[in-house]
Amino acid sequence: MPLLLDKILGLLFLPLGIAILVAVAALAALMLHRRGLGAWLLAFALAWLWIWSTPFVVYMLDKQSRAPYPPQHIEELPFADAIVLLGGGVDPVSSGMIYPNMNGAADRVWHAARLYKAGKAPYIIASAGNIWDRAHEPDRQSPAEAMRILLNEFGVPDASIIKEANSRSTYQNALFTSEMASGLEIKKVLLVTSYWHMDRSLAAFERTGLEVIPAPCDHARWAEAAPTIFWALPNARALMSNSRKFWELLGYLAYRLRGWV
């Protein structure tokens, strides 16, 4: 239940969720004949949604989140005991599917394989469990298993892949992986995740006592693009990108309040 509540509150407080809540409040004000208040709330909802749907805001947020974790050449990264690969880049096989599906963050899996093939670590720990309780689907494939399949396709043998398939959040990624690493005498890891997810992930993993070296990936071109008039016009891709970074900010704040980072 706490996880479900976290997800619901997170969605409600994303830019689109806030715009809808304020628009509902505007409608209620208008129904109560508070036209002035209703008009102001409706104007705020539209302006808020417009702002968070613009490429200009993507550019500003991308520069900020990318600065601490720029793209790195493989040779710049040190050697480690293991590579920790966080989920979110591959959808496991479910009803109607045959193979795992790579999504927008699939660079994570490819980057982990790239590090392994460069000899940066002898193992890859694939950390990702099913977010929701699948008691009624005990045979449902985990994201960790989906990543294993894809890593195999990229040339990483099973003997070098360690699955952690029980975590349901970034916090649990860190907690369960560190417990597994302790039993395997793994002390230094290369942490692979998207650059915009690295702040929260790095803080959570460092709290476990592991020596963690960020190996960010999934860099977008927003920070390098030249601005145009279209940067002020809203579009769905920009809203999705901004919402993702907004989610990370909310997640980091929630982790700080809970003492997880």
- pLDDT tens-digit map of 43-90: 999 999 999 999 999 989 988 888 999 999 999 999 999 999 999 999
pLDDT, tens digit (0-9, with 9 covering 90-100), for 144-181: 999 999 999 999 999 999 999 999 999 999 999 999 99
The DSSP symbol for 228 reads -
- Do 179 and 90 fall within a single domain? yes
Does 96 lie in the same domain as 16?
no
- Per DSSP, helices labelled H in the chain are 2-12, 15-31, 35-52, 55-66, 107-117, 143-153, 170-183, 198-206, 236-258
Q: Within this chain, do residues 61 and 150 fall inside the same structural domain, yes or no?
A: no
Tens of pLDDT, residue by residue over 86-97, are: 999 999 988 778
Indicate whether 229 pLDDT > 70. Answer: yes
Give the Cα-Cα-Cα angle 7, 11, 13 (nearest 5 degrees): 120
CA distances from 8 to 1, 3, 17, 248 (A): 11, 9, 10, 15
28 Cα distance to chain centroid: 35
For the question of whether the overall pTM of this predicted structure is more than 0.85, the answer is yes
Q: Is residue 213 in some structural domain? A: yes
Residues 38 and 164 reside in one and the same domain: no
Is 250 domain-assigned?
yes
Using the Cα atoms of residue 232, residue 224, residue 114 and residue 155 in order, give the sign of their dihedral. Answer: positive
List 211's β-bridge partners, or say none: 188
Residue 58 three-state SS: helix
Q: For residue 223, tell me if it sits in a domain.
A: no
Q: At what angle do helices 107-117 and 143-153 cross, to 10 degrees?
A: 50
Residues 253 and 130 in one domain: no
Give per-residue pLDDT as tens, 2-19. 666 677 777 788 999 999
50 in any annotated domain: yes
Residue 226 belongs to a domain: no
Question: Residue 90: which domain range?
Answer: 74-134+141-217
C-alpha–C-alpha distance, residues 44 and 48, integer Å: 6
What is the domain count for the chain? 2
Residue at 18 is within a domain: yes
Question: How far is it, in rounded angstroms, from Cα 179 to Cα 173?
Answer: 10
**Do residue 187 and residue 242 come from a single domain?**
no
* Same domain, yes or no: 121 and 59: no
Q: Are 112 and 213 part of one and the same domain? A: yes
